[in-house]
Structure 1
């Protein structure tokens, strides 16, 4: 996200502060995206309208139409922001790890933690409510988020840590399927009451370890 004052959630993921009622020239689109994101996080996509976003940002109800043709265009901007934050969080985890295999595991853990911190946004990011193919910036942001995981796997291959014949794209897809599946089960409440849900971070780490055991080169 652009450099702004931020607020820390309980799960450790940072989001921008709610914009003030007024906005500086050129900041309207950003203020509306921030306001719309908070509406989504508060109650899901059903709460998001151009009027509601305008009211939350402290601008006239006609103001959003200067930047967004309709509700879906605003929602697409919110989801692109979500994918951008997902990419930043996972890449920060990747870069902070001591070695490539740990970086790959850390990337998967950060992915699940992001979903746990922002379940409503996460559902919309991968749900059908927005026609993503109609919004190039959104598609680009989604591909960039997946690219972090691909880089983590490629780093393992470059270091000679993957077993012979392991395909980088297939390993990345397996890792994405694992983390996305776990994250979706968690945010949809399908793991509620199970030991896996009591510490979703520990569960993610254990599953990532299983994946790594299957693809890493034998010592």
Structure 2
């Protein structure tokens, strides 16, 4: 039985990813169905499976793409001092707000294949920018580098997640709000 829909598509991979991002943004990860995505893309129900294998493969591709976009955004900030580290946090927040579906999938480790080579590569690129930003902060200000990376990531991630969930009032300029918040927390010398 044929459906009359062609298997080949101009850019099936991109069309399925775009449709999946729309579904995640409107209905969440749980609403993803390869069959529904095929219908949305106007191709046979087997076509998405050919490119992604299964739902986990599709979500892993979205997460890898998201980490790549995040790495590109973070790479725009040259490592330097505490101000540069704050700007990395701003970029993280602005990425999350501009790409909420990517952000949601990236932060669902049980829904993706954590051993996927492209995911690992893109995640490492993003992590290297954050570690580089922390390394630029004087040692007496940052303390243990691993804890400093975790603290910086937690602050930016927490603010972005609260903003996206509606847990805090939406800021007119979330970047400026994050910058001010980080400035309050990191003002003055660290007491030993």
Q: Where on the TM-score scale, by shorter chain, does this alignment land: which range?
A: 0.7 to 0.9
Match of 1:204 in 2: 178
State the shift of 1:201 in Å. 2.2
**TM-score, scaled relative to structure 1:** 0.70
Provide closer, same or farther for how the CA distance between residues 102 and 127 of structure 1 changes in structure 2, counting only shifts above 3 A.
same
Q: Root-mean-square deviation (CA), in Å?
A: 2.9
CA 121–44 in structure 1, closer or farther in 2 if over 3 Å, else same: farther
- Does residue 138 (structure 1) correspond to residue 122 (structure 2)? The answer is no
User: Equivalents in 1 of 2:147, 2:69: separation in Å?
Assistant: 24
Matched residue of 1:213: which SS?
A: coil
Match of 2:3 in 1: none
Task: Report deviation, 1:57.
Answer: 2.7
How far 1:62 sits from its partner (Å)? 1.2
Scaled by the length of structure 2, the TM-score of the pair is 0.78
Structure with the larger RCO, 1 or 2 (CA within 8 Å, 6+ apart): 2
Which ranges of structure 1 fall in alignment gaps of 5 or more residues? 1-20
| 1:210 shift after superposition | 3.6
The Cα of 1:178 is off from its aligned counterpart by: 0.8
Q: For structure 1, which segment, 181-190 or 48-57, has the greater mean C-alpha deviation from structure 2 after superposition?
A: 48-57
Question: What's 2:145 paired with?
Answer: 168
Distance 1:86 1:32 in 2: 21
Could you tell me which runs of 5 or more consecutive residues in structure 2 were left unpaired when the two chains were aligned.
1-6
Structure 1 residue 200: Cα displacement: 2.6
d(CA) in 2 for partners of 1:172 and 1:151?
9
